């Protein structure tokens, strides 16, 4: 089972007592809370970095033990001394706080989530006690997970006949389902972006070609006087690229703002936004270079006598 909660970061006092917890030194941190059994970390492949895993006896302790995800441990305890420290968890719907004691830190794991929105929050893990309600059973398999799903379903129903199985999915299937809407939005935005890039490239090509036609006499004179064809190409190619750079100077800040807003809506990481922005920039520069080079190369092929005679 899992869900989002708030926890108070550690105070300046290293060990708060359950009877008199100290006041937090900074605002509460939002995390995803998981209730798990001792075999959970082995199932999801989360490595133990420091401390220990849960044992059955942890459910009987007066102070609830907790295992932190590495990102959360570094956020709360930058010095790296998380094990043995205590946190306060805010009880939802009241001002009461529960004291938690850190017993271990684990690395990242491939986990199922209730919503893709929660992926931006770090995780903490508590020992699973007997409780009613919906829960998840994580099963690690070798080979094709989809092929063994019927056998898994039969085994679960045989062991727990009265417990309804609401769904059975591989992690890949669950990930695809959760990101379906994001993929559709990304596809629509990519299509509009490709269309905009196509229109811009056609417009740039037409502009450079028009410049070549308008300066046909000048090109003929330059070539007749011995101008190098490469200089003619550079002249028009440079003009097209300067126009592109001017457009990027105006549009790039707007693109950064748009990507930042999109990132905040879908929970995209900053690194992914930066990679997307760099890819767009490279694509625009590449298409603009091609759209400028084609008519510029055409200009270098102008016959001087034909150009002068036509004028």
> What phi and psi, each to the nearest 5 degrees, are found at residue 107?
-80, -175
Residue 278 CB-density burial (10 A; 0-12 exposed, 13-18 middle, 19+ buried): exposed
Find residue 86's DSSP bridge partners. Answer: 101
Cβ pair 100, 66 in contact under 8 A: yes
Residues making up the chain, counted from first to last? 311
Alpha carbons 103 and 126: distance in angstroms, whole number? 10
Look up the pTM and report it. 0.48
Q: Which conformational region is residue 192 in: left (phi greater than 0), alpha (psi within -120 to 50 degrees), or beta?
A: alpha
pLDDT of 2: 45
Burial state string for 279-307 with b = 16 or more CB within 10 A and e = fewer than 16: ebeeebeebbbebbbebbeebbebebeeb
Which residues neighbour 242 within 8 Å (Cβ) at sequence distance 6 or greater?
none
Alpha carbons 181 and 177: distance in angstroms, whole number? 8
pLDDT of 49: 92
pLDDT of 103: 93
Low-confidence ranges of the chain (pLDDT < 70): 1-27, 91-94, 110-120, 130-136, 160-163, 165-166, 262-270, 272-273, 302-311
Q: β-strand 123-127 against 29-36: which pairing, if any?
A: parallel
Cβ pair 118, 4 in contact under 8 A: yes
Reference 298, options 250, 237, 252, 217; nearest CA is 237
pLDDT of 133: 56
pLDDT of 5: 53
């Amino acid at each position: 089972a899992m869900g989002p909660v708030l926890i108070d970061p550690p105070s300046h006092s290293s060990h708060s007592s359950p009877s008199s917890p100290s006041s937090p030194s900074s605002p509460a941190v939002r995390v995803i809370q998981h209730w798990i059994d001792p075999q959970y970390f082995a199932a999801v492949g989360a490595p133990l970095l420091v401390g220990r895993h849960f044992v059955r006896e942890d459910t009987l302790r007066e102070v609830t033990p907790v295992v932190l995800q590495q990102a959360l441990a570094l956020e709360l305890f930058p010095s790296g001394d998380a094990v043995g420290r205590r946190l306060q968890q805010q009880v939802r719907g009241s001002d009461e706080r529960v004291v938690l004691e850190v017993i271990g830190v684990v690395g990242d794991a491939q986990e199922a989530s209730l919503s893709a929105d929660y992926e931006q929050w770090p995780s903490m893990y508590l020992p699973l006690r007997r409780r009613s309600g919906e829960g998840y059973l994580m099963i690690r398999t070798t080979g094709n997970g989809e092929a063994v799903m019927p056998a898994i379903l039969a085994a679960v129903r045989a062991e727990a006949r009265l417990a309804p199985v609401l769904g059975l999915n591989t992690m890949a299937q669950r990930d695809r389902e959760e990101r379906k809407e994001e993929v559709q939005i990304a596809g629509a935005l990519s299509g509009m972006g490709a269309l905009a890039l196509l229109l811009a490239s056609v417009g740039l090509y037409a502009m450079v070609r028009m410049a070549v036609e308008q300066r046909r006499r000048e090109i003929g004179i330059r070539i007749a006087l011995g101008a190098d064809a490469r200089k003619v190409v550079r002249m028009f190619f440079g003009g097209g690229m300067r126009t592109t750079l001017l457009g990027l100077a105006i549009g790039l800040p707007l693109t950064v703002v748009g990507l930042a807003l999109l990132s905040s809506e879908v929970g995209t990481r900053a690194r992914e936004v930066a990679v997307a922005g760099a890819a767009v920039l490279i694509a625009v520069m590449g298409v603009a270079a091609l759209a400028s080079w084609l008519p510029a190369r055409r200009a270098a092929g102008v016959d001087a006598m034909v150009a002068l005679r036509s004028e």
